Structure 1
Amino acid sequence: MIDHPTAGRPHRRALLQRTPSRLVPLALAAAIAATAASARAQQAPTPETRAAGLVARMTLEEKAAQLGNDAPAIPRLKIPRYNWWNEGLHGVARAGYATVFPQAVGMAATWDEALMHDVGDVIATEFRAKYLATRSPDGGTDWYRGLTVWSPNINIFRDPRWGRGQETYGEDPYLTSRIAVNFIHGLQGDDPATFKTIATAKHFAVHSGPESNRHREDVHPSPHDLEDTYLPAFRATVTEGKVASVMCAYNAVDGVPACASDDLLEQHLRRAWGFKGFVVSDCGAAANIYRDDSLHYTKTPEQAVAAAFTAGMDLICGDYRNNMTTEAGPIVNAVRQGQLKEAVVDRALVRLFAGRIRLGLLDTEPPRAYAAIKPDDNDTPAHRAVALKAAQEAMVLLKNDGLLPLKTAPKTIAVIGPNADSEDALVGNYNGQPSHPVTVLAGIRARFPDAKVLYAPGTGLVGPAEPPVPDANLCVDAACRTTGLKAEHFAGPALAGNAQDGVERNARAAWQDGGHNASARWTGYLKAPRTGDYGLRYLSNAGYRIWIDGKLVVDAWDVTDSPSIAAGKATLQAGRTYPIRIEAVQRGARGDQKLVWSTPVDGGREAVDLARRADLVVFVAGLSANLEGEELKLQVPGFLGGDRTSLDLPAPQERLLERVVGAGKPTVLVLMSGSALAVNWADKHVPAIVQAWYPGGEGGHAVAGLIAGDYSPAGRLPVTFYRSLDGLPPFGDYRMDGRTYRYFKGPVLYPFGHGLSYTTFRYGTPALAASSIAAGNPVDVTVDVANTGKRDSDEVVQLYVGKPGDTAHPTLAAFRRVHLKAGDRTRVTLALDARALSQVDAAGARMVVPGPYTVYLGGGQPGHAQTVKAVLAVTGAPFALPK
C-alpha cells in the first residue's frame, strides 16, 4: 500500500483530546496559528483570480498561442512554456523508464477500487518526479514531462473488434465508473487546495471505433443508449471523481462534432453535472470540425475554432501525425472577424491557467502537500511492488481442469509461443518503458530455478517467428572480416546535420530518455546463414526503412507513436553477403529498438520437439499493440487498421498450439491481449487457460506465481469473451442491442465477471435492510461469504439487479474485492442507491420504476455462476433522476 499525504494523520480534535493537560496551551497555540494561517489563505487570491489577472495582461496573439497543447513561454509575465500533452494510461508513458502497470483493461480485471487509487497515486508521484528532473530553470516543460495527464479512457468497450478497447475499463458503465473514479482520486491527490496531477476523462463522448473512420464518424445513439451506456461513467468522474479535465472526442454526435457540441460540453458537462475544469480536444479533433476529409461541419478553420470555443472547448491538441496543428492564426482571425468573442477566449484561458496554478506550475516552490517528492522517486522498487500486486490481481483463470496450481515443481518446462519472451506483450500501448521488464519466460526461469527451462517461440504473432538478427550475421565489409555495422546518429528526425558515427555491433538503440527528435542510420552487410526467404523489420515505435542489396524492402517511415509489424521480404543465398541499410527515427516511446528477421526455418517443429521433452508446457499466445491499437497502418488477416476482423487466435498461433498440445504433455495456455479471444478449440483441449492481458513490467512474475500456486487468482473479466462474431451487430453500429453482457442474447465462451479460483466460496442468504422501499430511497444488502477451501484467496463479491420491465439482463450494481483466509468468513454490506436501481426508458429518461426487484450476489453473473438472491419491493410512484 502506498502512503498518502494524509494517511495516518489523526483528526485535530481527536489529537487535542489525547493531549496531556500540561501541553494544552501549546496545542491551543498551534490551533490559533493554524486558524490565522487559514484566515490568510482566505485572503489570498483564488487560482481563478490569479489566472484572470494574467490573462488580462496578454495580447490577443499571446492568448491564442496559449490555447494550443504546446503553449509557449511569455517571459514578461513570468509564464514558462508548458506542454499539456502527457500520457499516463497505466504509468507515465513515452517519457523513458517508468513503473508500468497492467494495461487499463487488465486493471479493470482486478475489480479493486482501493488498488486503483494506489496505482493512480504512484503514477502521479512519478509524473511529479519526472517533472522535477526535466523542467527548465524557469519551470517550463517538454512533451510528456508535464503534470496534466490525459487519462483515464472511460469509453465503453462496446465491441471486441475495437483496437483501442485495451485502453478502457471494459464494457460495463458501472465497473468503468468505479475503477475510473478511484484512479482519478489517486492521480489528482488528496489535498483539497492543490492537484498532484490533473486527470483527464476521455473521449467525450460516444467513441469506440472503428479506427479507420474515427475522424469522420457521425454517431447517432438512441436517447436510451446515450443515457444508459455512453454517459454514466463520464457523469461519475465529474460528480464523484471531481476530474479536473475532460477530452472531447474526434467523432460527431447527432451531426455535431463532439468538440463543438453545446449539448455535451455545456448542457451535460457543465450545467447538469457541475464540471468546473477545462476541456481539451482529442489530438486533431478541432481540425476535424472543418477539414474536407473529416467531419466538414464548418467551411473554415476560423468558423471551427469559433464553434468549439463557444461550445466550451478550452484547449486544442494538434495532431502532428496528420498535419492537424494548433496554429494560433485562426483564433486571432476569428476574434478580429467577429466570429469568436474575446471574452470566450479569456474564459478558456482562465480555466487553463487556474489548472496550472493549482498544480503549482507558476510558483517557485512545489505545493506543500507534494514537496517531499524528489526527482528520483521514479521506477522505484516500492512502485514496482505495486505493479506486481496489480498484475497478480489482474490475472483471470478462465479454465482449470485441476492442473493448477502445480502439485510438484516440474523438472523440465517448455515455454513456447510468440509472447513468451516479448516485452511488447507486457506493455500494450500508451506505455512507459519498464527498466526491469519480466517476460513470462524470465518469470518462469526465476520462479523455477531448479527446472530445466526450454524455450522456442515457434511462430510469430501472425507469421513466422522474428528473433533478433544475430551480431555474427552483420558485417562492416563485404568480406566479413569485421562484424558490426557503421552507425550514424543524428540530433534531428531527418537524418541530417552533423552525425556521431562509429562502428556498432548491431542496429540497436536504447533511446529511453533521448527525447523525440533523433534518428540513426546503419550501413554494412548481411550474411545469410541458409538459402531461402527472409523477412526483415525494425522493432520500433517510430519510422524506419530497410534496404537489402540496394532495394527498399520495407518503408514504414511515416509510423509515429504506434508500433508497426511491416516487414520486408528478401530471398537470400547461404554464405553470400548483401549490402544492408537501416534508417530509423527516435520518438522516445520504447527503449529497445532492434533489427529482427524471420528465417527459412520451421520454428514449429522445434517447439513441438521441446514440448515432447518437457514435463509441463507453458504456451504464451495472444496479440500485441502491434496488431490492436490506435489507427495502425496495418492490414493482415484478422486485423485492419488497428481493429480486429476476427476474434480467433491468429492462424499461425492456432496451428502451433494444436501441434504442441498433440505432444500429449500438460499444457497451460497464457493469453496476453487487450481484448477477448475466441479460443474455442483451446477451451475443449487445453487443461488450463489464463488471461494475463498486457500485465506490465512485472507481468512475468505474476504469471509464474499463479502457475506455481504462490497466490490464488481472483481477477474477473471486465468484458465478455464471445465464441465468435456471429450474433454481434456490425462494428459500426452504435446501438447497444445485442452487445455486452447486458444485451447479448446468445451463448458466450466466458461471461463478463467470470474468473476461477484455487479455493471455493459459499454465500449465505442475503439480508436487505428493508424488504420494501419507496422509489428513490436507498437500501443496504448484506451477505456472509465463507472461504470453504484450503487456500487463502481474494473473492470478488458481485451484486446484480434484475429490474421490472427492463430490457437488459440483470445488471452490475455493486461489488467488492475481499480477502479471506482458508476457513474464514466475512460479512459484506453493499449499498444500492436510486441510480443503482434505476433504468432508462426509450426517451432517455432515467427513473426508478415501482415493482419487484431481484438482487443477486455471488462470484459472477447470475446464470453463469452460483448466486444467492433476495427480492426487493419498490413502491410508490416512479422516481425520476436527473441526467
Structure 2
Amino acid sequence: MTDHPLPFRDPQLSFSRRTADLLGRLTLDERIAMLHQFAPAVERLGIGPFRTGQEALHGVAWMGPATVFPQAVGLGATWNDDLVRRIGEAVGNEVRAKRAQDERVGLNVWAPTVNLLRHPLWGRGEEGYSEDPALTSAIAVAYTRGLRGDDPRYWRTAPVLKHWLAHNNETDRDTASSSVRPRVLHEYDLRAFRDAVRAGAVAGVMPAYNLVNGRPNHVSPLLGQHLRRWTDQPLVVCSDAGAPSNLVDSEHYFDTHEEATAAALKAGVDSFTDHGTDSSVMTGRIRDALAKGLIDESDIDTAAGRLLAMRFALGEFDPELDPYAEVDDLDTEQHRALALEAAEQAVVLLKNDSLLPLEPEQGRTVAVVGLLADACKLDWYSGTLMHRSTPLDGIRERYGAENVLFAEGVDRVRLKTSDGWLQVPAADGAADTEARGAEGALDPALLAGRTDLPPLTYGDDATELALVDWGDGVLTLRTDEGLYLSVADDGYVRASADEPGGWVVQETFRLEAVEGHDGGHRLLHIGTGGYVSVAADGAKVAGAGEKISRDDATVFERETVEHGADAVARVAAAADTVIVVAGNDPHINGRETEDRTTLALPAQQDRLWRAAHAANPRTVLVLASAYPYAVTDAADSLPALLWTAHGGQAAGTALARVLAGDVSPAGRLPQTWYASDDDLPGLLDYDIIGSRQTYLYFDGTPLFAFGHGLGYADFSYSALRTEVDGEQLRVSLTVTNDGGTAADEVAQVYVRAAVPAETVPPPKGLGRRLGTLDEPTDLPLRKLVAHRRVHLAPGAAERIEFDVPVEELGHWSVAHGRWSVEPGAYEVLAGASSADIRLTGTAVVDGEAQGPRPVAARGLEAVDYDWQKDTEILDRTKTEGDAVAPASAGREGSLVYRACDFGEGVDGLAFLVSGEGSITVSAGGQVFLLQFPDSGGPYEYRTLEAGLGLRGVQELRIGLTGSVRLARIDVVAGKASA
C-alpha cells in the first residue's frame, strides 16, 4: 500500500510520471486554464493557483521592500561569476521569503535579461550584462545557478531568460523587425541564451516583442529548432505582456486572434501573459482555436505538461520535502554585506592621473556636487529600498560631515503667470499627516498620484522650484521639500512625488518658447501630452476628459534665481577636491519603451563639471548611469573619471570607499564606450559584422575599450602558455601584483584567427575586410573566450589556468551551414582589456578546411550571403524559413556569395522568388537580368531561371529591386549531373 493514493502525489515517482498522471486527471477546461499567466486553483484535486512571472532582475521587484543590488549592467561590470552566483542565491532566498509573506509573489522568476548590449542607445541597456556573448553567458549562468539552487531535485526559483531574440530597440519595439544573418544569429544572439540553458539552471525563456527576419518572436521556429534542442528539460516559454494580442492588433501578422494564438502555441509558447489577471480572453481564444481545428488537444497538453513539470520542480506538491520551503532570508546582514560588495566591485575607474585614491586627511575638504550627488536612483525593475546610501551620504560618513561641502547644481527658478506667481499651496494638516510615517518621513507609496493635496495655483508669493533638464528638453520641477510636480488621474498638477517613476512617468515636463512673446513659455506635461493651465481651481493639464491644448495653455515667464553652475563653482572653489556626480534618472530618457537619442551627457550636467573644473582643477567626475556616455572632453581634461551603474542600496557607501582607497576599483567595462554618435550605426541595424558593431568588429578608436578599467595597483602578466589538447585549448598565465596595495585584477583572454596580411579588396561599396578567397572572412578583430577576477596581496602572484573549448575559435560557415573551426594558427591574446594586451601566444588547431560552397551539389539559401548592402531578411513563410529582399523599394539591394563551386559546369541558375521586380545576376564575367510581375503576394513563390553557363569556383553577385523576396538559388543541371 502507498500513502499517496494519487500517483502525482507520490514523491517516489519521477516528475515526468507525476506530470503525466496529473495531466490525465485534469479536464480540458482545467488544462486550458493553466496556459494563462494566472492559472486558477483546481480545488477538486487540492491544487492551488499559480502565476508565471516574478521580476527579479537585481533583487525582488514590485513586491515591496527587498535588498536592492546594482543594476544588471553593473553586475556585468564586476566580471565576477562567483559574486553574481551568490547574489542569485540571495535574490532567490528573498523571493522564497516574500512568497511566505505574500502569495502574490511567484517562484517563476523572469530574470535575467540576456539580450546583448549591441547598441548603447538602447533604452533598456541597464537590464543586460554586456555587449559580449561570452561574458553575458558567464554572468547569466552564475545568476541562474544562484536562483535555481544546488538541490539536485528541487528548485529554489525557476528562472526565465529574457528576451528571445535579437531585441535591442524600444523604438517601434512591437513592429520593428531585426534583420539577423546566419552568422550573427549563431555566433552572437543565440549564444547569449545557449550556455545558460545548457548549464541546466534555466526553466524557460520569454520571447521579445520584436520580429526577427520579418516573423514575430512569439511564433519563431527557432524556439523548436534551437532552444529546445539544447536540453532535455521541459523548458517553459512565457509570452511577454500583451504580445499574443500584438500578433493581430499592432503587427497584423494574422487576421484573427484564434489564428495567432494557435500559431504561438504550436511554435512553443506555453504561458500566455495577456489581459492582466483576466484569463477569460486568452482561454477563450484557445478554445475557439481548438473548435476551428487550428490546434488539437495534444498542443494544449504539451504546453500544460511543461508548466506542470516546472511546478513539480518548485516543490509545490512536496512541501515537506522542499529544501527551500522554510527559507526566510530577507534583509539579512549577509545580504546587506553582499549588496555593498557588489556595489564596490561594479565601480570602474576610467581614468586616474594620480589624484585617486583620495585618502581622508586632517583639514581636507571635499565638495560633492551634481544632480546625482544626493540621489540613490531606482529603475523600473527595482524593489523598494530598505536602506539608502547616496554619494553624499557615503562621502560624509567616510570623510566626516564637517569636511564635506555640497551643491546639487540645479537651476532655481520661479514661474510667473499673468495672474501672479506659480505657487505650491501648503497641504492641510490631516492630508500631510496621512502621508507621513511614524518618524515624520514622507511615505513614497502615498505620494505620486495623490488627489487629496491641493493643486498648484497662483498668488503674490512665488514657490521657488529646482529645475533639472535631463536632456532633450525633458525637465523635472521640485520643491524645497523634495517633492516633484506630478499629475494625478484627475489631471491636476500637484507637488506629490518623491521621485519620477511609474510605467508612464507623470513628473516630466517641457518648456516651449512662445513665438512673439519675449521670454514666454508654455509648460507641456509629457506624460499626458497636455499643457499646463493655471485657473482659479488650480493648475491642470486635462479637464472634462480632454487634454489642455496649446492654445489654452498658460504662458509663463521664467525667472532664474540661481544657475546651478554658479552654486557648483562656489563650493568647488572652497574645497580641496571636487567630486561631480552626473548621470541619468533610469525613469527618464532611456528606459523600457524609450530609447536614447544621443551618447552626449545632458547639457546642464556638462555645464556643471566644467564649472567645477574651472574653479578647481582637482575635479573628479563620477558617472552614475545605466549606460555609456561620450564624454570626450571630460576624459581629456579631468584628472580622474569613474563610472558605475546605479548601485542599489549601498551605492554611496561603495563609492566613498573606492574614492578613499579602502577598496581598489576593479570593475571593467562590459561594453564599448564610443567617442561620439558618429561611431554608431543605426539603432535598427542588427548586422554587427557588416556595420562593424561592438568591440568584436569596431575598427575605430573608442573612448574607452571593452574590458577597460583601472585600479590602485599595477599588475604584470607573464609566462603565457597555450596547448591544444583534443577539444580543449588550455591557456595559463601568471598575474603579479606589483603595487603596494591589495587589489583585484581581471585577467582577460581573447583569440583571433591569424589571417594573412594581404587581402583582396571588397566589392565596391560593400564594406571592408572580406579576406582572401580561401580564408574565413570577416572574423572578429578579437573575441573574449575566458576571464577571471582574482584578488592579490602586494607582491603576490597567481598562476591562472583556463580551459577553452576549441569550438570557441570557430565561426558559423554560411558556405556549409554548420559551425566550423578552420585548421591553422590562432592568436591567443591575454591582458587587462581588449585594448590592453600584455601577452600574445599561438595555438595551432588541426581540422578540416571547409573549401568552397558546394553550390552544384546543394544549391544555395539566399540568406547565406557573405556580404550585403541595402537588403533585409524577411520570412519565407509564416512558419519557417528566410528570404532576402531589398531594404528599400527605391534602391537596389546587393548580395555577394564568394567561392561558389559549380563543379564541372551548370547550364543556369534557378531562383525561388515571390513579389515583383528584378534580379540581376553576375558571375563568371556574365550578367543576366530577370524581370517579373507580381507573383500574387509575398508568400506566393515561383521559380525563375537565368541562363548562365558556369563552372568551377566563381563569385556570385545578386542585385534585387522592387518587392522581390529571394528564398533560394539552385542550379540548372549541366555537365555536373550528366
TM-score class, shorter-chain normalisation, is 0.7 to 0.9
Name 2:958's counterpart in structure 1. Answer: none
1:250 shift after superposition: 1.1
Q: Select the residue among 322, 326, 348 that pairs with 1:396.
A: 348
Displacement after TM superposition at 1:454 (Å): 1.8
Q: Secondary structure at the match of 1:181?
A: helix
* Residue in structure 2 matched with residue 230 of structure 1 by the alignment: 189
Q: Which moved more, 1:539-548 or 1:429-438?
A: 539-548
Q: Show the counterpart of 2:152.
A: 192
RMSD across aligned C-alpha pairs, in angstroms? 3.7
Corresponding residue for residue 588 of structure 2: 627
Distance 2:394 2:97 in 1: 29
- The 3-state SS of whatever aligns with 2:227 is helix
1:147-176 CA-to-partner distances (Å, cap 9, x unmatched) read 111001001111011010110011000000
Change (3 A) 1:553 1:613: closer
Q: Deviations over 1:488-531 (max 9, x none)?
A: 99xxxxxxxxxx9999999953329x9x9x96532267677547
Q: Match for residue 792 of structure 2? A: 820
Confirm or deny: 8 A CA contact 1:673 1:694 kept in the other structure. yes
Residue of 542, 546, 570 corresponding to 1:609: 570
1:766 to 720, 739, 742: 720
Residue of structure 1 in register with 2:365 after alignment:
412
Shift of 1:726: 0.9
- The match for 1:867 among 838, 841, 847 is 838
Task: Tell me which of 443, 450, 453 is aligned to 1:522.
Answer: 453
| 1:421 and 2:352 are equivalent in the alignment | no
CA contact (8 A) 2:436 2:442 kept: no
Report whether the alignment pairs 1:108 with 2:50.
no
Residue 644 of structure 1: how far off its partner (Å): 1.1
Shift of 1:835: 2.4
Give 1 or 2: higher strand fraction.
Answer: 2
Contact kept in structure 2, 1:247 and 1:279, CA below 8 Å: yes
Q: Report the Cα distance in structure 1 between the residues aligned to 2:509 and 2:729, rounded to whole angstroms.
A: 59
Contiguous gaps of at least 5 residues in structure 2: 1-7, 416-422, 468-475, 512-520, 524-533, 543-557, 756-777, 852-978
2:252 matched to which residue of 1? 296
Q: Give 1:408 shift.
A: 4.6
Q: Which residue of 1 aligns with 2:385?
A: 434
Distance of 2:237 and 2:338 partners within structure 1: 31
What secondary structure does 2:719 align onto? coil
Correspondence 1:849 to 2:817? no
The aligned residue for residue 551 of structure 2 is none
Identify the range of structure 1 (661-670 vs 746-755) with the bigger mean alpha-carbon deviation. Answer: 661-670
Match of 1:789 in 2: 739
Contact 1:622 1:671 in 2 (8 A): yes
Shift of 1:301: 0.9
Residue 684 of structure 1 deviates from its aligned partner by: 1.2
Q: For residues 605 and 198 of structure 1, what CA distance do their matches in structure 2 show? A: 52
2:34 — aligned with what?
66
Which residue of 190, 195, 220 corresponds with 1:261?
220
Distance 1:830 1:578, change over 3 A: farther
Per the alignment, residue 125 of structure 1 pairs with 93
Q: How does 1:233-632 map to 2 (within 5 A)?
A: 233-262=192-221, 264-291=222-249, 293=250, 295-318=251-274, 327-363=282-318, 365=319, 367-374=321-328, 377-409=329-361, 411-424=364-377, 427-449=378-400, 451-459=402-410, 475=425, 484=428, 487=431, 508-511=442-445, 520-523=451-454, 530=462, 544-545=487-488, 560-561=502-503, 563-567=505-509, 600-632=561-593
Equivalent residues, number: 764
SS of the residue aligned with 2:799?
A: strand
Q: Name the structure 1 match of 2:910.
A: none
Q: Is contact 2:424–2:494 with CA below 8 Å preserved after alignment?
A: no
1:635 alignment counterpart? none
**Structure 1 equivalent of residue 530 of structure 2:** none
In 2, Cα distance between equivalents of 1:474 and 1:793? 51
More helix by share: 1
1:169-228 CA-partner distances (Å, limit 9, x unpaired): 11000000000001100000000110000011111111111x121110222211111111
Tell me how far apart the structure 2 counterparts of residues 541 and 533 of structure 1 sit (CA, whole Å).
9
Displacement after TM superposition at 1:367 (Å): 4.3
TM-score computed with the length of structure 2 as normaliser: 0.72
2:728 counterpart residue number? 778
Matched residue type, 1:169: Y
d(CA) in 1 for partners of 2:507, 2:61: 21
Residue 831 (structure 1) aligned to one of 798, 803, 807: 803
Change (3 A) 1:761 1:528: farther
Contact conserved, 2:348 with 2:642, CA < 8 A, in 1?
yes
Task: Show CA shifts across 1:588-636 (max 9, x none).
Answer: xxxxxxxxx997432322221111111111100011212244444xxxx
Query: Tell me, what secondary structure is at the counterpart of 1:808?
Result: coil
Query: Is the alpha carbon distance of 1:272 and 1:82 closer, same or farther for their aligned partners in structure 2, counting shifts above 3 Å?
Result: closer
Q: Take 2:125 and 2:301, find their aligned partners in 1: how far apart are those partners?
A: 36
**Residues 242 and 378 from structure 1, CA distance in 2 versus in 1: closer, same or farther, beyond 3 angstroms?**
closer
Matches within 5 A, 1:660-699: 660-699=612-651
Q: Deviations over 1:727-757 (max 9, x none)?
A: 3211111110311001111111000000001
Task: Point out where structure 1 has 5 or more consecutive residues left out of the alignment.
Answer: 1-39, 136-141, 467-472, 477-482, 490-499, 585-596, 633-641
Deviation per CA, 1:564-599, whole angstroms, max 9, x where unpaired?
A: 542387999xxx998658999xxxxxxxxxxxx997
Query: In 2, distance between residues paired with 1:804 and 1:268?
Result: 30
Larger RCO (alpha carbons 8 Å, 6+ apart): 1
Aligned to 1:639: none
For residue 163 of structure 2, the aligned residue among 192, 203, 207 is 203
1:759 maps to amino acid: A
Give the Cα–Cα distance (whole angstroms) in 1 for the partners of residues 586 and 388 of structure 2.
16
- Provide the C-alpha distance between the structure 1 equivalents of 2:797 and 2:333, rounded to a whole number of angstroms: 33
How many Å separate the matches in 2 of 1:648 and 1:581? 34
Whether contact under 8 Å (1:228, 1:839) holds in the other structure is yes
Q: Supply the distance in 1 between the matched residues of 2:96 and 2:180 (Cα, whole angstroms).
A: 39
Residue 542 of structure 1, CA deviation: 13
- 2:659 alignment counterpart: 707
Relative to structure 1, the CA distance from residue 501 to residue 646 in structure 2 (aligned partners, 3 Å threshold; closer, same or farther) is closer
Cα deviation, 1:676-720, whole Å, max 9, x if unaligned, reads: 111111101111111011111101011000100001111100000
1:718 to 667, 670, 683: 670
Q: Which amino acid aligns with 1:857?
A: A
Q: Secondary structure at the match of 1:655?
A: helix
Q: TM-score, normalised by structure 1?
A: 0.80
| Higher mean displacement: 829-838 or 384-393 | 829-838
State the alpha-carbon separation in 1 of the partners of residues 563 and 848 from structure 2: 71
1:179 maps to 139
CA shift in 2, pair 1:567/1:450, >3 Å: closer
The alignment-based identity, stated in percent, is 37
Aligned CA distance change for structure 1 residues 602 and 56 (closer, same or farther; 3 Å)? same
Q: Which amino acid aligns with 1:567?
A: F
Paired residue type of 2:564: G
Mean alpha-carbon deviation: is it higher for 183-192 or for 527-536? 527-536
**Does the 8 Å contact 2:730/2:803 carry over to 1?**
yes
1:741 to 692, 695, 698: 695
Change (3 A) 1:616 1:276: same
Aligned partner (choices 19, 30, 51) of residue 51 of structure 1: 19
- Displacement, 1:448? 1.2
Q: Secondary structure at the match of 1:455?
A: strand
